[in-house]
Amino acid sequence: MRKTIIAGNWKMYKTINEAIDLANNLKRELFKVNFAAVDVVLCPVFTALSEVAEVLNETDIQLGAQDIYWQDEGAFTGEVSGLMLKDAGCRYVIVGHSERRQFFGETNETVNKKIKAALKHGLTPIICVGENLQERESNNTFKVIQEHIKGGLADISAQDLLKTVIAYEPVWAIGTGKTATPEQAQEVHKFIRDLLRKMYGEELACSIRIQYGGSVKPENIAELMAKPDVDGALVGGASLKVDSFSSIVIKASEVLK
Protein backbone atom coordinates (compact mmCIF):
# COMPACT_ATOMS: atom_id res chain seq x y z
CA MET A 1 0.00 0.00 0.00
CA ARG A 2 1.45 3.34 -1.02
CA LYS A 3 -0.05 6.45 0.52
CA THR A 4 -0.94 9.11 -2.04
CA ILE A 5 1.20 12.24 -1.83
CA ILE A 6 0.16 15.60 -3.28
CA ALA A 7 2.77 18.36 -3.08
CA GLY A 8 2.47 22.00 -4.12
CA ASN A 9 5.61 23.51 -5.61
CA TRP A 10 5.03 27.25 -5.29
CA LYS A 11 8.20 27.98 -7.30
CA MET A 12 9.26 31.67 -7.14
CA TYR A 13 5.81 33.00 -6.29
CA LYS A 14 4.32 34.65 -3.19
CA THR A 15 5.70 37.18 -0.77
CA ILE A 16 5.68 36.23 2.91
CA ASN A 17 2.23 37.69 3.51
CA GLU A 18 0.80 36.12 0.37
CA ALA A 19 2.27 32.76 1.39
CA ILE A 20 0.75 33.02 4.87
CA ASP A 21 -2.63 33.83 3.31
CA LEU A 22 -2.49 30.93 0.88
CA ALA A 23 -1.42 28.46 3.61
CA ASN A 24 -4.15 29.72 5.96
CA ASN A 25 -6.82 29.46 3.28
CA LEU A 26 -5.71 25.97 2.28
CA LYS A 27 -5.69 24.92 5.91
CA ARG A 28 -9.24 26.22 6.33
CA GLU A 29 -10.46 24.56 3.13
CA LEU A 30 -8.84 21.18 3.85
CA PHE A 31 -10.05 21.24 7.45
CA LYS A 32 -13.59 20.81 6.05
CA VAL A 33 -12.78 17.51 4.37
CA ASN A 34 -11.16 14.25 5.31
CA PHE A 35 -7.83 14.04 3.53
CA ALA A 36 -6.32 11.45 5.85
CA ALA A 37 -5.65 9.15 2.89
CA VAL A 38 -3.29 11.72 1.36
CA ASP A 39 0.01 13.25 2.44
CA VAL A 40 -0.19 16.96 1.61
CA VAL A 41 3.01 19.02 1.32
CA LEU A 42 3.44 22.74 0.61
CA CYS A 43 6.77 24.01 -0.76
CA PRO A 44 7.00 27.82 -0.54
CA VAL A 45 10.05 30.00 -1.25
CA PHE A 46 12.83 29.98 1.36
CA THR A 47 11.86 33.38 2.78
CA ALA A 48 8.35 32.18 3.67
CA LEU A 49 9.26 28.79 5.17
CA SER A 50 9.23 29.76 8.86
CA GLU A 51 5.97 31.68 8.61
CA VAL A 52 4.22 28.93 6.67
CA ALA A 53 5.58 26.41 9.20
CA GLU A 54 3.82 28.39 11.89
CA VAL A 55 0.52 28.35 9.97
CA LEU A 56 0.79 24.58 9.44
CA ASN A 57 1.77 23.83 13.03
CA GLU A 58 -0.50 21.14 14.51
CA THR A 59 -2.11 20.37 11.15
CA ASP A 60 -1.51 17.30 8.98
CA ILE A 61 -0.16 19.47 6.18
CA GLN A 62 3.62 19.20 5.84
CA LEU A 63 6.21 21.76 4.83
CA GLY A 64 8.83 21.30 2.12
CA ALA A 65 11.58 23.41 0.56
CA GLN A 66 12.40 23.70 -3.14
CA ASP A 67 16.15 23.08 -2.97
CA ILE A 68 18.96 22.26 -0.56
CA TYR A 69 22.74 22.59 -0.48
CA TRP A 70 24.81 19.60 0.60
CA GLN A 71 27.12 21.29 3.12
CA ASP A 72 25.72 22.03 6.59
CA GLU A 73 27.28 25.51 6.78
CA GLY A 74 30.15 27.52 5.38
CA ALA A 75 31.14 30.18 2.88
CA PHE A 76 28.55 29.25 0.23
CA THR A 77 26.84 32.54 -0.54
CA GLY A 78 23.18 32.19 -1.42
CA GLU A 79 22.81 28.54 -0.42
CA VAL A 80 20.62 26.99 2.28
CA SER A 81 21.53 23.74 4.07
CA GLY A 82 19.51 20.77 5.26
CA LEU A 83 20.29 21.78 8.82
CA MET A 84 18.66 25.17 8.15
CA LEU A 85 15.64 23.69 6.35
CA LYS A 86 15.05 21.36 9.29
CA ASP A 87 15.40 24.33 11.60
CA ALA A 88 12.75 26.22 9.58
CA GLY A 89 10.29 23.34 10.04
CA CYS A 90 10.66 21.40 6.77
CA ARG A 91 9.99 17.68 6.46
CA TYR A 92 10.43 17.47 2.68
CA VAL A 93 12.67 19.02 0.05
CA ILE A 94 12.39 19.01 -3.75
CA VAL A 95 15.67 17.94 -5.36
CA GLY A 96 16.71 18.11 -9.01
CA HIS A 97 13.69 19.95 -10.35
CA SER A 98 14.01 20.40 -14.12
CA GLU A 99 14.07 24.18 -13.72
CA ARG A 100 17.17 23.80 -11.55
CA ARG A 101 18.72 21.40 -14.06
CA GLN A 102 17.85 23.73 -16.94
CA PHE A 103 18.67 27.17 -15.50
CA PHE A 104 21.06 26.55 -12.59
CA GLY A 105 23.37 23.80 -13.78
CA GLU A 106 22.00 21.01 -11.60
CA THR A 107 23.48 17.64 -12.64
CA ASN A 108 22.86 14.06 -11.60
CA GLU A 109 25.99 14.36 -9.42
CA THR A 110 24.74 17.43 -7.54
CA VAL A 111 21.30 15.85 -7.26
CA ASN A 112 22.96 12.82 -5.66
CA LYS A 113 24.80 15.00 -3.12
CA LYS A 114 21.61 16.86 -2.29
CA ILE A 115 19.63 13.64 -1.78
CA LYS A 116 22.31 12.42 0.64
CA ALA A 117 22.27 15.76 2.49
CA ALA A 118 18.48 15.66 2.79
CA LEU A 119 18.54 12.11 4.15
CA LYS A 120 21.29 13.00 6.60
CA HIS A 121 19.00 15.63 8.11
CA GLY A 122 15.89 13.46 8.15
CA LEU A 123 14.26 15.34 5.27
CA THR A 124 12.32 13.39 2.64
CA PRO A 125 13.75 14.28 -0.77
CA ILE A 126 11.26 14.54 -3.63
CA ILE A 127 13.58 13.53 -6.45
CA CYS A 128 12.58 14.97 -9.82
CA VAL A 129 13.35 13.20 -13.08
CA GLY A 130 12.03 13.82 -16.57
CA GLU A 131 12.85 14.22 -20.24
CA ASN A 132 12.51 17.34 -22.36
CA LEU A 133 10.60 17.52 -25.64
CA GLN A 134 13.62 16.92 -27.84
CA GLU A 135 14.60 13.88 -25.78
CA ARG A 136 11.08 12.49 -26.05
CA GLU A 137 10.84 13.13 -29.77
CA SER A 138 14.18 11.44 -30.39
CA ASN A 139 12.98 8.37 -28.46
CA ASN A 140 15.42 8.96 -25.61
CA THR A 141 12.89 9.23 -22.79
CA PHE A 142 13.81 5.97 -21.07
CA LYS A 143 17.54 6.58 -21.51
CA VAL A 144 17.27 10.01 -19.84
CA ILE A 145 15.07 8.71 -17.02
CA GLN A 146 17.50 5.85 -16.41
CA GLU A 147 20.42 8.30 -16.22
CA HIS A 148 18.50 10.56 -13.80
CA ILE A 149 17.55 7.62 -11.58
CA LYS A 150 20.88 5.79 -11.63
CA GLY A 151 22.97 8.97 -11.29
CA GLY A 152 20.76 10.54 -8.66
CA LEU A 153 20.56 7.39 -6.58
CA ALA A 154 24.25 6.42 -6.75
CA ASP A 155 25.33 4.89 -3.42
CA ILE A 156 21.89 5.35 -1.85
CA SER A 157 21.05 2.28 0.23
CA ALA A 158 17.73 0.47 0.02
CA GLN A 159 16.95 1.59 3.55
CA ASP A 160 17.52 5.23 2.57
CA LEU A 161 15.64 4.95 -0.69
CA LEU A 162 12.55 4.01 1.30
CA LYS A 163 12.68 7.51 2.80
CA THR A 164 12.45 9.20 -0.60
CA VAL A 165 9.75 10.09 -3.12
CA ILE A 166 10.32 10.15 -6.88
CA ALA A 167 8.58 12.72 -9.08
CA TYR A 168 8.29 12.10 -12.81
CA GLU A 169 7.97 15.50 -14.46
CA PRO A 170 8.21 15.56 -18.25
CA VAL A 171 9.72 18.98 -18.99
CA TRP A 172 7.43 19.49 -21.99
CA ALA A 173 4.40 19.24 -19.72
CA ILE A 174 5.57 21.74 -17.09
CA GLY A 175 3.74 25.05 -17.16
CA THR A 176 2.57 24.39 -20.70
CA GLY A 177 -0.97 23.23 -20.02
CA LYS A 178 0.01 20.13 -22.00
CA THR A 179 -0.32 17.24 -19.55
CA ALA A 180 1.10 13.84 -20.33
CA THR A 181 -1.77 11.49 -21.01
CA PRO A 182 -2.44 9.05 -18.17
CA GLU A 183 -1.04 6.33 -20.47
CA GLN A 184 2.19 8.27 -21.08
CA ALA A 185 2.58 8.91 -17.35
CA GLN A 186 1.88 5.27 -16.48
CA GLU A 187 4.38 4.05 -19.06
CA VAL A 188 7.23 6.04 -17.52
CA HIS A 189 6.15 5.41 -13.91
CA LYS A 190 6.18 1.68 -14.64
CA PHE A 191 9.59 2.01 -16.28
CA ILE A 192 10.90 3.74 -13.13
CA ARG A 193 9.39 1.08 -10.85
CA ASP A 194 10.83 -1.73 -12.99
CA LEU A 195 14.23 -0.05 -12.87
CA LEU A 196 14.02 0.26 -9.08
CA ARG A 197 12.99 -3.40 -8.96
CA LYS A 198 16.21 -4.33 -10.78
CA MET A 199 18.31 -2.04 -8.56
CA TYR A 200 16.71 -2.68 -5.16
CA GLY A 201 14.35 -5.66 -5.41
CA GLU A 202 10.62 -6.26 -5.49
CA GLU A 203 9.65 -5.15 -2.01
CA LEU A 204 11.27 -1.75 -2.22
CA ALA A 205 10.06 -1.11 -5.76
CA CYS A 206 6.52 -1.76 -4.60
CA SER A 207 6.85 0.57 -1.59
CA ILE A 208 8.34 3.65 -3.22
CA ARG A 209 5.98 6.45 -4.20
CA ILE A 210 6.19 7.98 -7.67
CA GLN A 211 4.40 11.28 -8.23
CA TYR A 212 3.50 12.76 -11.60
CA GLY A 213 4.10 16.46 -12.27
CA GLY A 214 3.31 18.67 -15.27
CA SER A 215 0.12 20.70 -15.72
CA VAL A 216 -1.80 18.75 -13.08
CA LYS A 217 -5.25 20.30 -12.54
CA PRO A 218 -8.52 19.38 -10.84
CA GLU A 219 -9.74 18.25 -14.29
CA ASN A 220 -7.03 15.65 -14.86
CA ILE A 221 -5.94 14.45 -11.40
CA ALA A 222 -8.47 11.61 -11.15
CA GLU A 223 -7.54 9.99 -14.47
CA LEU A 224 -3.83 10.26 -13.66
CA MET A 225 -4.33 8.83 -10.17
CA ALA A 226 -6.36 5.95 -11.60
CA LYS A 227 -3.18 4.53 -13.14
CA PRO A 228 -1.59 1.81 -11.03
CA ASP A 229 1.91 3.31 -10.76
CA VAL A 230 0.88 6.95 -10.22
CA ASP A 231 1.01 7.59 -6.48
CA GLY A 232 0.38 11.31 -6.35
CA ALA A 233 1.22 14.63 -7.95
CA LEU A 234 3.73 17.45 -7.76
CA VAL A 235 1.67 20.49 -8.67
CA GLY A 236 3.01 23.85 -9.87
CA GLY A 237 0.61 26.50 -11.16
CA ALA A 238 -2.55 24.91 -9.76
CA SER A 239 -1.01 24.82 -6.26
CA LEU A 240 -1.02 28.63 -6.11
CA LYS A 241 -4.81 28.83 -5.85
CA VAL A 242 -6.83 27.58 -2.91
CA ASP A 243 -9.68 26.20 -5.00
CA SER A 244 -7.62 24.26 -7.47
CA PHE A 245 -5.12 22.81 -5.00
CA SER A 246 -7.73 21.75 -2.45
CA SER A 247 -9.82 20.27 -5.23
CA ILE A 248 -6.78 18.26 -6.43
CA VAL A 249 -6.23 16.95 -2.89
CA ILE A 250 -9.89 16.00 -2.50
CA LYS A 251 -10.13 14.31 -5.90
CA ALA A 252 -6.88 12.42 -5.31
CA SER A 253 -8.17 11.18 -1.95
CA GLU A 254 -11.31 9.84 -3.63
CA VAL A 255 -9.41 7.58 -6.03
CA LEU A 256 -9.32 4.10 -4.55
CA LYS A 257 -6.01 2.40 -5.18
| Closest separation in Å from C-beta 213 to ligand 13P | 4
Task: Report, in Å, the least distance between residue 92 CB and ligand 13P.
Answer: 12
Residue closer to ligand 13P by CB (options 67, 229) is: 67
Residue 96 binds to ligand 13P (criterion: CB under 6 A): no
Strands 38-43, 4-9: pairing kind: parallel
Is residue 167 within 8 A of residue 126, CB to CB? The reply is yes
Instruction: Determine the distance from the C-alpha atom of residue 43 to the mean position of all C-alpha atoms in its chain, rounded to a whole number.
Output: 9
Residues 207/2, Cβ–Cβ less than 8 Å = yes
Interaction of residue 214 with ligand 13P, rule CB under 6 A: yes
For position 130 contacting ligand 13P by CB under 6 A, the verdict is no
Does residue 125 interact with ligand 13P by CB under 6 A?
no
Contacts of 45 (CB under 8 A, 6+ apart): 10, 12, 13, 14, 19, 66
Check binding of 215 to ligand 13P (CB under 6 A): yes
Question: Does an H or E element contain 161, and which?
Answer: helix 158-161
User: Which residue in the list 97, 106, 131, 135 is annotated as catalytic?
Assistant: 97
- Report if residue 40 touches ligand 13P, rule: CB under 6 A: no
Query: Does position 237 bind ligand 13P by CB under 6 A?
Result: yes
- Residue 223 annotated as catalytic: no
Using DSSP bridges, classify how beta strands 4-9 and 209-213 pair: parallel, antiparallel or unpaired. unpaired
Rule CB under 6 A: say whether 64 interacts with ligand 13P: no
> Quick check: 151 and 108 in contact, CB under 8 A?
yes
CA distance 245 to 247: 5
Residue 97 Cβ vs ligand 13P, minimum distance, rounded to whole Å:
6
199 to 1, 130, 236: CA distances (angstroms): 20, 19, 30
Of 200 and 232, the one with the shorter C-beta distance to ligand 13P is 232
Does 169 help bind ligand 13P (rule: CB under 6 A)?
A: yes
Q: Which of 99, 131, 135, 169 is catalytic?
A: 169
Question: Is residue 169 among the annotated active site residues?
Answer: yes
Torsion-angle region of 152 (φ positive above 0: left; ψ -120 to 50: alpha; else: beta): alpha
Beta strand ranges found along the chain (DSSP E): 4-9, 38-43, 61-65, 92-95, 124-129, 165-168, 209-213, 232-235
**Binding-site size, ligand 13P (CB under 6 A):** 14
Choose, by CB under 6 A, the member of 6, 41, 42, 235 that binds ligand 13P: 235
Residue 174 sits in the site that holds ligand 13P (CB under 6 A): yes
Provide, rounded to whole angstroms, the least separation between the CB of residue 201 and ligand 13P: 29
Closest distance of CB 202 from ligand 13P, Å: 29
Q: Are 223 and 182 in contact (CB under 8 A)?
A: yes
225 binds ligand 13P (CB under 6 A): no
Kindly list the catalytic residues. Answer: 97, 169
Which chain residues interact with ligand 13P by CB under 6 A?
9, 97, 169, 174-175, 213-216, 234-238
